[in-house]
Amino acid sequence: MRFFIDTADLEEIKAANDLGVLDGVTTNPSLVAKIVQDPENFTYEDFKAHIAKICDIVDGPVSAEVTTLLAEEMIVQGEDLAAIHDNVVVKCPLTLEGLKAMHHLSANGIRINATLVFSPTQAILAAKAGASYVSPFVGRLDDISTEGMALVEQIVDIYDNYRFPTEVLVASIRHPQHVVDAALIGADVATIPFKVIGQLLKHPLTDTGLERFMKDAAVIKKG
Ligand code: E4P
C-alpha cells in the first residue's frame, strides 16, 4: 500500500518525506488556499511554482487539481499542469465535463486522478475514461451517515472483476482506522493528512514501555 500525504504545506511534506514512508502527494484548491499567505496576490503562476516545489521534495506522483468547470479549459490547464514536472498527476472532478477532459488528457499520456468520487458508477466511468487513480472520499461520505469504506470495497471488487488498471486512492481520510480499513480492503493508495500520519505510529504501550526501558537503561554504563 502506498502512502500519499494530503496537504500543500511544504513543511508537512518535508517532515513526512523524512520519515521514509511517503510515496506521493495530493493537493486540492482548499488545501492550497490554506497555505497561501497573501491571497490577494497569489497567482496561477504562484500555484504552479508551488506544485514544482512539492515535486522537488517528493519523488512520486503529485496531484494538482484543475480550477475550472469546462472540459476545454480543463484540458488546457491539465496540459499546462502536467508540463510542470513528470510526476504531476492532473486531478479532474467526476462531472460530465471532467470526464471529457479525463478522456482527452489520458489519451494524450497525461496521468489523471479522478476526484470527488462518491459512487461506484462514478468510479466505473473514471476507469473507462482512462484515469490512473480514482479518489473515493470516505470521510465526506461518513459525514453524511453513509459508510465511506463500503464504497472503497465496491470499487476494489469492480476493478478486480474487469482488471481495470485504475488505482484506488482512498481520500478524505480522517483517522487511523480509515487507513487500516483501506489496507484490509486492498486499496492501492491512501492519501493521509499529516496529523493522521503522526497518529499511525502512536501507541500508549510503546510510550510506557519506552519510559521503563529508559529508566532501566541506567544500569548500562557507557564505556
Ligand atoms: C484528496 O485528494 C482530497 O481532495 C482530500 O482527501 C479531501 O479531503 P477532505 O474531505 O478532508 O477535504
Spatial contact of 189 and 168, defined as CB atoms under 8 Å apart = yes
C-alpha cell at 207: 510510550
Catalytic residue among 91, 202, 221, 222: 91
Task: Check if 91 is active-site.
Answer: yes
Q: What is the pLDDT of residue 162?
A: 98
CA 61 to chain centre: 9
Instruction: Encode the chain (223 residues) as per-residue pLDDT tens digits.
Output: 999 999 999 999 999 999 999 999 999 999 999 999 999 999 999 999 999 999 999 999 999 999 999 999 999 999 999 999 999 999 999 999 999 999 999 999 999 999 999 999 999 999 999 999 999 999 999 999 999 999 999 999 999 999 999 999 999 999 999 999 999 999 999 999 999 999 999 999 999 999 999 999 999 987 7
C-alpha cell at 143: 459525514
Q: What is the pLDDT of residue 221?
A: 82
Q: 101: buried, middle or exposed (CB in 10 Å: 19+, 13-18, 0-12)?
A: buried
Nearest ligand 1 atom, CA 193: 6
User: Would the CB of 172 count as within 6 Å of ligand 1?
Assistant: yes
Q: What is the pLDDT of residue 222?
A: 78
Q: What is the pLDDT of residue 41?
A: 97
Residue 132 identity? S
C-alpha cell at 56: 522537488
Query: Residue 101: CB partners within 8 Å, gap ≥ 6?
Result: 66, 71, 74, 75, 78, 92
User: Would the CB of 137 count as within 6 Å of ligand 1?
Assistant: yes
> CA-to-CA distance for 49 and 77, rounded, in angstroms?
14
- Cα of 6 vs centre of ligand 1, distance in Å, is 7
- Cα of 139 vs centre of ligand 1, distance in Å, is 8
Strands 133-136 vs 24-26: parallel, antiparallel or unpaired: unpaired
Pocket test for ligand 1, best of 4, 6, 13 (most atoms within 8 A of CB): 6
**Dihedral sign (CA 72, 77, 80, 81):** negative
User: Would the CB of 27 count as within 6 Å of ligand 1?
Assistant: no
